[in-house]
Amino acid sequence: MDAKTYPVTRTDAEWRAMLTPEQYQVMRHHGTERPGSCALLHEKRAGTFTCAGCDQPLFESKLKFESGTGWPSFNDPVEGSVENTVDRSYGMTRTEVHCANCGSHLGHVFPDGPPPTGLRYCINGVALNFEPSA
């Protein structure tokens, strides 16, 4: 799937072993979880959302917002933590978002978010872990 080499690389067998079947499908095969299926959607505590594949911090809770889409949505990622590619699957042109550290698929970004960035990072909750701030 990925021609480029990421700082964190694992074989397909290693990914299968460390991720749940749902995480594996979403993160390694560009799947999408069912809207509203993830507990993190309602996570309102202060803290940091990290990549389920490599523990890199990706999003801060203060930039999370309720988009009404059924997926956790964020204004902006931690700087340098994610990369984008153009996704033309399903007859749509969307901007795919993946972890810059391990290459795992996270979700998509849309240009219809609230200020200040106007971006809406629509992320699969299974691709994230939440660490409440102390």
Which residue in the set 102, 109, 122, 123 belongs to the binding site for Zn ion (CB under 5 A)? 102
CA distance 90 to 93: 8
| Residue nearer to Zn ion on the CB measure, 61 or 81 | 81
CA distance 124 to 127: 6
Q: Which two tokens stand for residue 127?
A: 């691709």
Residue with tokens 């979700």: 107
Tell me: does residue 51 bind Zn ion (CB under 5 A). Answer: yes
Applying the rule CB under 5 A, the residues between 1 and 30 that interact with Zn ion are: none
Which residue in the set 63, 101, 106, 127 belongs to the binding site for Zn ion (CB under 5 A)? 101
The verdict on whether 122 is a catalytic residue reads: yes
Residue span binding Zn ion (CB under 5 A) among the ranges 42-50, 74-82, 104-112, 116-124: 104-112
| Residue nearer to Zn ion on the CB measure, 73 or 104 | 104
The residues facing 110 across adjacent strands are 120
Residue 33's contacts (CB-CB under 8 Å, 6 or more residues apart) are 22, 26, 71, 124, 125, 126
Catalytic residues: 122
Binding residues for Zn ion (CB under 5 A) = 51, 53-54, 99, 101-102, 104
